[in-house]
Structure 1
């Protein structure tokens, strides 16, 4: 069981260039952001490395770890290492997770999403994942029900040591997900499309998490 408040994990839109850096800096500058997942559009390896070099400092300078993902064929481990990211994030493939764990050793994190079943989650945890992400949008943009994500995160957080991240499609979902004892609550569009800007969204989410901790 987690004995501290869940921390924030931000997921960017799919990025093709470095123009997102100011918004990323604004969000992370609001404080309380533990990690950021840079979702990179498919490109050649050199372009992805340069993009990570341009974007990562906007988060890292505010104390957030930066992970990278991409649906392309580029070598993510190489992109992360040469681009200066803190880790990689991949879909739930145990063989891939084991390979990345072997290559990255303990120097960089390996995060996993797109997890379908509880059995898959356990297999991925055993394969060496540093965290599991539950409830993020599917490739077609649809979302699992909030109830199912709460159930899955609660189950995982109660039994397993490997941290989990629970995806909140809205700020309203932050409180019930934090109550699962998940170590991290992830936010995507809820931050980037917030009417008052990313910093306001991050501050609002952080306040919810602080209130949640105070009631434990």
Structure 2
């Protein structure tokens, strides 16, 4: 079996499926497709009660598959749902507050780094990872060129792992991997057709096994 720890790995962004049972089934199906490092569960505008029910439905299946469950949205839900961590979409103040309150007991990642200045500001806070791009940024088949450039620059400069948003095409994982990012985030590329989510994860891992550069020991 290929050493997935030594190359770029997949981060899934859970789809906007409000019904908890449907969300649990779709995410569980995707995770049967192969290695996934973590799953980010966005709030998608749900109120607190509805989001908590959905989080409580999907977090156990994510963890059972050996991935980390990360909540993006109401930070209180992460503890209630017994998630592994938080994905913070706000600015440096929000990230700093989350780190102060929840680290190191929980994973805290910083998102929405749109340029080098923002990325460095977030990096100074020492989050567990930095997210380059937007959770809904996969609007084209290929990753956004700016995110690829940021990923290459970040990976060559900073030890904090980075997650780079991929595109709507499964093949986009190769471009992200080649910029030396530790993780590639996939959303529509996997969940656009829920019935084929597991197959998409399998294909993405096969591409990474074949074409992703290996990290130095």
CA RMSD of aligned residues (A): 2.3
Q: Which residue of 1 aligns with 2:30?
A: 27
Q: Is the 8 A contact 1:168 1:174 kept in 2?
A: yes
TM-score, length-scaled by structure 1: 0.87
Q: Residues 99 and 137 of structure 1: is their aligned pair in 2 closer, same or farther, counting only changes over 3 Å? A: closer
Q: SS at the partner of 2:104?
A: coil
Query: Which structure 2 segments of 5+ residues have no match?
Result: none
Question: Is structure 2 residue 210 aligned with structure 1 residue 211?
Answer: yes
* Aligned pairs, number: 208
Counterpart-to-counterpart distance in 2, 1:98 and 1:209:
33
1:12 aligned residue (14, 35, 44): 14
* Shift in Å, 1:111: 1.6
**1:96-107 correspondence to structure 2 within 5 Å:** 96-107=94-105
Counterpart-to-counterpart distance in 2, 1:23 and 1:43:
18
Q: Is the 8 A contact 2:171 2:207 kept in 1?
A: no
1:65 aligned residue (63, 68, 71): 68
**Residue deviations 1:69-118, cap 9 Å, x none?**
13xxxxx3321011111111122411111111011020111122222221
* Shift in Å, 1:45: 3.1
**Residue deviations 1:41-64, cap 9 Å, x none?**
334434333321111112111001
* Shift in Å, 1:155: 0.4
Q: Which residue of 2 aligns with 1:73?
A: none
* Shift in Å, 1:194: 4.3
TM-score, length-scaled by structure 2: 0.86
Q: SS at the partner of 1:171?
A: coil
**1:114-125 correspondence to structure 2 within 5 Å:** 114-125=112-123
Q: Is the 8 A contact 1:114 1:138 kept in 2?
A: no
Query: Which structure 1 segments of 5+ residues have no match?
Result: 71-75
**Residue deviations 1:26-55, cap 9 Å, x none?**
111222101001112334434333321111
Q: SS at the partner of 1:197?
A: helix
Q: Is the 8 A contact 1:4 1:213 kept in 2?
A: no
